[in-house]
Amino acid sequence: MAKQLYIETVGCQMNMLDSELVVASLRKAGYELTDSAKNADTILFNTCSVRQHAEDKIYSALGRLKHAKTHNPGKIIGVLGCMAQKDQKLIFERAPYVDLIVGPGQLHQIPELLEKIAAGDGQQLEVSLDRKAGSRHEVEQSFESYDPLRDPSMRPTPFQAFARIMIGCDKFCTYCIVPSVRGPEQSRPASQILAEARQLAGEGCREITLLGQTVNSYRHEADGRMWRLSDLLVALEDVSGIDRVKFVTNYPKDMTDDLLQAVRDLPKVSTYLHVPAQSGSNRMLKMMKRGYTVEEYREMMSRIRATVPEATVTSDFIVGFCGETDEDFAETVELVRESRFKNSFIFKYSERPGTKSADLFPDDVPEDVKKRRNNQLLAIQNAISEEDNQPFIGRQVEVLVEGPSKNAIKHGEDERPVVQLVGRTMCDRIVVFDGNRRQIGQLLDVAVYDANAFTLFGSVVTSHVGPEVYSL
């Protein structure tokens, strides 16, 4: 019988892509996916270190597996990704029954490492060099971008895919663990990315999301030519079969005019820009070492609005960063009020050992103040989101249909031929409407009749029903 694999993934889209690729490689090695950790032969956690909470959850999940091997001594438990790189052998110390620790730069070794464990070679640990443990080149070499050939059956939907265009980060914002766990910034050659896009298109993929920690810092020199993100977008426009191209996450300082003009001029490029501001206070931005002032962020917002008026912008904010006063927070509120983001992801500052801010500044904003600021900012943002969704009522939007809505799944109705569906507009707005399962994977016109802060509700205008392109 095929070996049963259970995998849990937390964190960002980069982790989702990594898990997808790990699963694809293990399928090739004869594994089958199961959704039961209990019955699995191999349990993998692909982990995130950005906030303490994400790590605590993994350590408690590991804690619950303490006796998992009693009935199945051959069961293998592995920790992958950012926590593996950050905590390394500490994970073995805290959970001695873990068999495998693999950093984000060694994921390609997993099938081989699992074989070793099964053969009785004991615990296996493979991680990259710490950033200060060698020359830049040596550290770079120790983080290998993991982009093997895909298996279309492994994507969340066959018509959508992530494509990594760079790995790592060199920005070293003081609060952030990413540069140490994901290593130096390295852009992949454009020729590889384009080959991957063509392959994905050939497999029926219509939407590609380009991934990078600071995706718009992409730069790669090849054949005497410098490729920027805007150049990649121009080249992707010519890949037939691809209808939409998105890219996340952007770094404000690298939001250059050539990129905005590409977003304006290229019909396939999504008009959705995720550009985290983190704070509206110059004092905080400086302590965070974000590399821009709030005035510069505002200037960038006006360039976006002037160049691509229909663009939607989203942001991330950290509340309760070291020493944040009510005045600092009020400046963040002001930035959120005037920027009219489509939505904002708001996080309470979480001190990460090993970062500059953990070394330099006390984490001195009390938890209840962090919580209050979080709720307050979220309420302001949600009111804006709701207001800005209202003008869509009565309008038609083009939607890429992603699948049955959460609600349909929750009520066990997702297998019905006529079902509530969910899709997204070119500017990343979520649209829910009744439709036919055969419409999954298609671009449809939907007339919007209602809206709240998070969702547009509509009905299908074009009732074209094509061949079935998607089956669960």
Q: Using CB under 6 A as the criterion, which residues of the chain lie in contact with ligand 5AD when the complex forms? A: 50-51, 175-176, 276, 278, 316, 318, 347, 349-350, 352
Q: Which is nearer to ligand 5AD, 150 or 370 (CB)?
A: 370
The b-or-e profile of 71-107 (16+ CB within 10 A means b, else e) is eeeebbbbbbbbbbbbbbeebbeebeebbbbbbbbbb
Q: Applying CB under 6 A, does 166 fall inside the site for ligand SF4?
A: no
Report the partner that residue 162 touches, choosing among ligand 5AD, ligand SF4, none (CB closer than 5 to 8 A by kind): none
Q: Applying CB under 6 A, does 178 fall inside the site for ligand SF4?
A: yes
- Residue from 173, 232, 236, 287 touching ligand SF4 (CB under 6 A): that is 173
Q: Applying CB under 6 A, does 277 fall inside the site for ligand SF4?
A: no
Contacts to ligand SF4 from residues 247-266, by CB under 6 A: 251
Q: Which is nearer to ligand 5AD, 107 or 322 (CB)?
A: 322
**In angstroms, what is the minimal distance from the CB of 280 to ligand SF4?**
16
Q: Applying CB under 6 A, does 176 fall inside the site for ligand SF4?
A: yes
Residue 7: which of 59, 93, 76 has the closest Cα? 76
Which pairs with CB-CB distance under 8 Å and at least 24 residues apart come from 118-125? 118/74, 118/76, 123/92, 123/98, 123/99, 124/99, 124/100, 125/88, 125/89, 125/92, 125/100, 125/101
Q: Applying CB under 6 A, does 116 fall inside the site for ligand SF4?
A: no
Q: Applying CB under 6 A, does 172 fall inside the site for ligand SF4?
A: yes
Q: Applying CB under 6 A, does 171 fall inside the site for ligand SF4?
A: yes
Q: Which is nearer to ligand 5AD, 332 or 350 (CB)?
A: 350
Which tokens in the block code for residue 320? 């309760």
* Contact (CB, 8 A) for 179 and 170: yes
Question: 3-state DSSP call for residue 253?
Answer: helix
Q: Applying CB under 6 A, does 169 fall inside the site for ligand SF4?
A: yes
Question: For residues 137, 18, 439 and 265, what is the CA-based torsion angle, rounded to 10 degrees?
Answer: -20
Report the partner that residue 352 touches, choosing among ligand SF4, ligand 5AD, none (CB closer than 5 to 8 A by kind): ligand 5AD
**In angstroms, what is the minimal distance from the CB of 471 to ligand SF4?**
37
Residue 43: which of 2, 94, 1, 8 has the closest Cα? 8
Which tokens in the block code for residue 68? 């998992």
**In angstroms, what is the minimal distance from the CB of 249 to ligand SF4?**
7
Q: Applying CB under 6 A, does 179 fall inside the site for ligand SF4?
A: yes
**In angstroms, what is the minimal distance from the CB of 176 to ligand 5AD?**
4
**In angstroms, what is the minimal distance from the CB of 350 to ligand 5AD?**
4
Q: Applying CB under 6 A, does 345 fall inside the site for ligand SF4?
A: no
**In angstroms, what is the minimal distance from the CB of 278 to ligand SF4?**
7
Q: Applying CB under 6 A, does 392 fall inside the site for ligand SF4?
A: no
Q: What is the DSSP track for 207-238?
A: EEEEE-TTGGG-EEEETTEEEEHHHHHHHHHT
**In angstroms, what is the minimal distance from the CB of 172 to ligand SF4?**
6
Q: What are the φ and ψ backbone dihedral angles of 82, each rounded to 5 degrees?
A: -60, -40
Amino acid at 147: D
Report the partner that residue 349 touches, choosing among ligand SF4, ligand 5AD, none (CB closer than 5 to 8 A by kind): ligand 5AD
**Quick one: how far is CA 251 from the chain centroid?**
14
Q: At CA 173, angle to CA 169 and CA 175, rounded to 5?
A: 115
Q: Applying CB under 6 A, does 321 fall inside the site for ligand SF4?
A: no
Q: Applying CB under 6 A, does 446 fall inside the site for ligand SF4?
A: no
Report the partner that residue 350 touches, choosing among ligand 5AD, ligand SF4, none (CB closer than 5 to 8 A by kind): ligand 5AD
> Within 13 A of 302's CA, how many CA atoms are on the CB side?
5
Report the partner that residue 213 touches, choosing among ligand 5AD, ligand SF4, none (CB closer than 5 to 8 A by kind): ligand SF4
The b-or-e profile of 175-189 (16+ CB within 10 A means b, else e) is bbbbbbbbbbbbbbe
Distance CA 63, CA 66 (A): 5
Report the partner that residue 40 touches, choosing among ligand SF4, ligand 5AD, none (CB closer than 5 to 8 A by kind): none
Report the partner that residue 171 touches, choosing among ligand 5AD, ligand SF4, none (CB closer than 5 to 8 A by kind): ligand SF4
Q: Applying CB under 6 A, does 197 fall inside the site for ligand SF4?
A: no
The Cα diameter of the chain in Å comes to 65
Q: Which is nearer to ligand 5AD, 249 or 425 (CB)?
A: 249
Q: Are strands 100-102 and 124-126 parallel, antiparallel or unpaired?
A: parallel
Q: Count of CB atoms within 10 A of residue 327's CB? A: 9
**Which string of x and - marks every residue 213-232 that binds ligand SF4 (by CB under 6 A)?**
xx------------------
Report the partner that residue 316 touches, choosing among ligand 5AD, ligand SF4, none (CB closer than 5 to 8 A by kind): ligand 5AD
Interface residues with ligand SF4 (CB under 6 A) are 169, 171-173, 176, 178-179, 213-214, 251
